[in-house]
Amino acid sequence: MPLVKNLIASLTCPATDIILSDIAAFDAKYGGFKKKSLTFVAARPVSGKTWFMCNCAVNMAKQHFRVLYYTDNISEAVARIHKIAPGVPDMYVEEMLIFNADNFKKQCLQLRPQVVFVDVYLLGNVINKKNLRRIKQIAESLNFAVIVTGTLNRCIDTRLDKLPKISDLLGINQQTGVLETADFIFSLYNPALYIPSFLLPPKHQLVVCPLKMPCKMPIYLELKATGVIGDWEPEILPILN
């Protein structure tokens, strides 16, 4: 995969410090996820954040990485993971309703994960600026990648341009300090939320837009009925911009 290798080289990061999502377009364009770093994935509700996180977690578990998945809705997360891959290798799914740095570090020391997902609906109610910095510090000290999700504010819905922008993070940044703490920031855009269905292809599309990343080009993915996310076949897609 030359594109992956080129991007990895540009980030001056050894290949052993990269954890691939196994979503080909994502890995080829962005080089996967980097250990000792914090990646933030933001979107409006029902845009596909949890599906994206669960797909990445399942794919990494299949690659025999130790995966720790925190959620504020265990039943939903487990149901989605089993729908994506009924026979997925074991991963650790834990509840996070209130963040406790000592408990978080203790659990990471016990399980020694290589990648940690934090997927909670209202991130600012669970994790503040101090918490997010602490999570990153623990990831750096224990050498794992951490991927966190958050919900963007409603201002996107009022604009003609529906593509997420860095300014859409200002609200959640006041609560979590994500703009300063996160190494990489992506947003997910679901055209089906804004564009009439008769203008869209029959497949369910998902657009990944990098907001804080050396590569600024978006990629197009398909969210299948099975919950599996795969690459979109090349074609012209309607998008509001």
What are the 10-residue block averages of pLDDT along the chain, 241 residues in total?
42 73 93 96 90 96 95 93 85 93 96 96 90 97 96 82 84 92 93 75 81 87 90 57 44
Q: What is the pLDDT of residue 103?
A: 95
Which superfamily does 2-231 belong to? P-loop containing nucleotide triphosphate hydrolases (3.40.50.300)
Q: What is the pLDDT of residue 202?
A: 65
Instruction: Say which residue the tokens 């994500």 belong to.
Output: 178
Q: What is the pLDDT of residue 58?
A: 95
Q: What is the pLDDT of residue 201?
A: 66
pTM, two decimal places = 0.87
Q: What is the pLDDT of residue 5?
A: 42
Sign of the dihedral through C-alpha 66, 54, 30, 124: negative
Residues 6+ apart with CB under 8 A from 18: 8, 31, 32, 33, 34, 35
Q: What is the pLDDT of residue 194?
A: 80
Q: What is the pLDDT of residue 233?
A: 62
d(CA 232, CA 103): 40
DSSP, collapsed to helix, strand or coil, labels residue 223 as: strand
